Chain A
């Protein structure tokens, strides 16, 4: 019988003989012996401590938490399972705070104007007197969820440049939720933002203002034409309120346009089919590219992702610097590729938001984007290449130097 088992038996005996006995040390010993892997990450503890300090400051507009009597009640707190956002539930996007000039990374929002998106009081933070106008920026769609949690429902998506109103914020150590409203409507929902806060003051940290960028040329508008997407892009059941994300298109997909096109929610939506996978749905035209005849066969890396130059642009204190040996997590679903070689890249597998990886080599500029060689952890690590722009340092509060780009050899 090993030591842990002895301790466990002693604990059980103690408890059985004298359940009222306050023998906490026995419990602690058992826990220490049986659960060596449960030690919290010191970086997490430090981050949370800083967050608590910031939240304890008077007049912080970050977190207004429920009164004690609500905690035992039915108040529905935000349920942060941010670590395992499903690929279908998250598209990270950058939102440009028009008033603040800050860059925020968003998720998505609620769409049923009739239901008025009643949000649980327990998750509301103190709201500013008047909502702050923000604007969806480039890189990906901004998606609104019905509530700030992994189990939320995707309700609406917005293309770059869409004006929204920031009502309030709510954050966890790993993710910040933004409560957003569609101007002039009762549509309210939640998007995600990645560490856009100045931890010292608890407010948004303005970043370099930058107008939304048109990241793609107009897609072909001919039925039967082939198109591809610039990165991981959501495909929706329909364009408009009540839309649900049904699958995600990746750059290697070849999408066939069916000719249906609808202007809705301030964006042009086109209906596409992925013949190879027997899927179809609606996608924002802004993320479609015409497929050149030479690309007609499945190949190619994402080429049109806007390289922000400094990885982590808009991610709080950035710019961030990820160097060899650093650990990072991914901000959105991300394909891992076998190599950086035109026409020879093979999609290996997909990382999901908050998967953690290690940088294994220098960054490479290739095909208009910056790529990072990565390796997963665990007993069977896997290796490949991912877009560096979608990596975030494990501790987002740590400032880094500028991302170093190494020219391809």
Chain B
């Protein structure tokens, strides 16, 4: 693979963006989907997820000059985690009635869509059964972060993250088994 074809690393994109803020768009394109999904997993509605996503990237853009070293992805998800935590602290304790109908079906097969929805609901219920510290770890894990990055994002020690993850997976498996989503082994 030639240098031109090689996908730029996060470190390179960060350096570019620190030199030229307009280059931040490349980082945005790389992580927009995963940040959006991470947000939506927490806020239930598409619109709220969009606003939180925007907030995360605007904060990241502004704070980028202060980013020095480490994993950009962990740093970005740390911002997302803090934005969502702050948002939850003050959010209204209600959900719109039409939350369910806003879920977009991306498959033409209604049966498959129904199965996906059911699976997703059960997965969400299982995640809700976790302790906050465990859920934070699992959600970042689902977003693709490594244990080390999760530790950095959550400002916790690596052993602590591993421990939480181990307990979370065990608990998750029990919850999913009870809901018949995950099969006992």
Q: A-side interface residues toward B, CB under 8 Å?
A: 1-2, 4-5, 8-9, 12, 15-16, 19-20, 22, 24, 27-28, 30-31, 33-41, 44-45, 48-49, 51-53, 55-58, 63-69, 71-72, 76-84, 86, 149-151, 172-174, 352, 354-356, 376-380
Contact = CB atoms under 8 A, between A and B. Distances in A.
A4 B57 CA distance: 30
Interface string B77-98: 0110011001100111000101
B87 to A, nearest CB: 5
B32 A66 contact: no
A82 B47 contact: yes
A33 B103 CA distance: 15
A172 B55 contact: yes
Contact of A77 (B83, B101, B144): B83
Nearest to B105: A37
Interface residues of B, number: 81
B22 to A, nearest CB: 5
A58 B65 CA distance: 14
Given A12-B172, A84-B47, A149-B90, A378 B25 contact: no
Contacts of A52: 24-25, 28, 57-58, 61
B143 A27 contact: yes
10 contacts: A4-B115, A12-B173, A31-B37, A35-B41, A35-B120, A37-B105, A38-B36, A63-B58, A81-B51, A82-B47
B96 A84 contact: yes
A309 B6 CA distance: 54
B30 interface: no
Nearest to A48: B54
Contacts of B57: 48, 52
Interface string B20-35: 0110110011001100
A55 B49 CA distance: 20
B144 A71 contact: no
B37 A35 contact: yes
Contact of B63 (A33, A35, A71): A71
Given A55-B61, A378-B98, A4 B86 contact: no
A82 B117 contact: no
Shortest 7 CB-CB distances between A and B: which pairs?
A83-B47, A378-B101, A65-B62, A80-B51, A68-B63, A56-B21, A68-B66
Nearest to B51: A80
Given A5-B182, A72-B82, A55 B46 contact: no
B130 interface: no
Interface of B: 21-22, 24-25, 28-29, 32-33, 36-37, 40-41, 43, 45-55, 57-59, 61-63, 66-67, 78-79, 82-83, 86-87, 90-92, 96, 98, 100-107, 113, 115-117, 119-120, 123, 141-148, 155, 158, 161-162, 165-166, 169-170, 172-173, 176, 181-183, 185
Given A22-B146, A27-B144, A28-B144, A55 B58 contact: yes
B47 A174 contact: yes
A383 B165 CA distance: 48
Contact of A80 (B41, B54, B104): B54
Contacts of B24: 52, 56
Nearest to B115: A2
Contact of A79 (B32, B49, B82, B91): B91
B66 A67 contact: yes
A248 B84 CA distance: 31
Nearest to B146: A22
Given A52-B25, A84-B96, A172-B55, A34 B141 contact: no
Contacts of A355: 98
A36 B45 CA distance: 14
Contacts of A79: 86-87, 90-91
Contacts of B170: 16
Contact of A8 (B146, B166, B176): B176
B29 to A, nearest CB: 7
Nearest to B145: A24
A82 B51 contact: yes
Given A40-B49, A51-B54, A80-B48, 20 more contacts: A4-B116, A19-B166, A20-B146, A20-B158, A20-B162, A27-B143, A34-B119, A36-B105, A37-B104, A38-B36, A52-B61, A58-B21, A68-B63, A77-B83, A77-B86, A80-B55, A81-B87, A81-B92, A82-B51, A173-B51
Contacts of B120: 34-35, 37
Contacts of A378: 98, 100-102
B146 to A, nearest CB: 4
Nearest to A32: B37
